Amino acid sequence: MKIYWTMPQGIKEHYRRELDLYKTEFAQQNLPQAWHHLERAHILAQPWPREHSFVHWRMLLFGIHIKSLREILGQIPRLVIGGVKSFVGNIPVGNTGGANVPPLQPMEIPGDLEAILEKYK
């Protein structure tokens, strides 16, 4: 079993960029685009517990902001369990992390993100 803890710097740069883009879009109230960047940050963060949990925290806050009970209730278990699953390397690869998708469903990774992840495997 591989234990994941430290996100490689090369991935962290892209992860932080997605979070910065999220903040920019959110500040401009472009909520669909903001959410898109959170999903992309989630895909990059999945293997690392701290970053993965942080994205779920942001998704929970987003759900509260848009007053979506579905998103709020969907993020609570993901926030609690997601980091643990990352820690032991048991994640549904490519899952975008929102309550609109099953939490254990693997998904296709966008090509640009897949290239980033492959480069630092």
CB neighbours of residue 118 within 10 Å: 9
pLDDT of 115 > 60? The answer is yes
pLDDT of residue 8: 93
Cα–Cα distance for residue pair 50/14, rounded to 1 Å:
16
What DSSP string runs through the chain?
A: -PPP-SPPHHHHHHHHHHHHHHHHHHHTT-HHHHHHHHHHHHHHHTTSHHHHHHHHHHHHHHHHHTT-HHHHHHHHHHHHHHHHHHHTT---TT---STTS-TT---PPPHHHHHHHHHT-
Contact 6, 112 (CB under 8 A): no
- Read off the pLDDT band of 121 (50, 70, 90): confident
pLDDT of residue 26: 98
- Which of 49, 72, 35 has the alpha carbon at shortest distance from 3? 49
pLDDT of 15 > 70? The answer is yes
Average pLDDT of the chain to the nearest whole number:
92
Q: Give the residue-averaged pLDDT of 91-112.
A: 92
- Read off the pLDDT band of 2 (50, 70, 90): low
Confidence (pTM): 0.92
Each domain of the chain, given as residue ranges in start order, spans 9-119
Summarised one tens digit per residue, pLDDT across range 47-88 is: 899 999 999 999 999 999 999 999 999 999 999 888 777 766
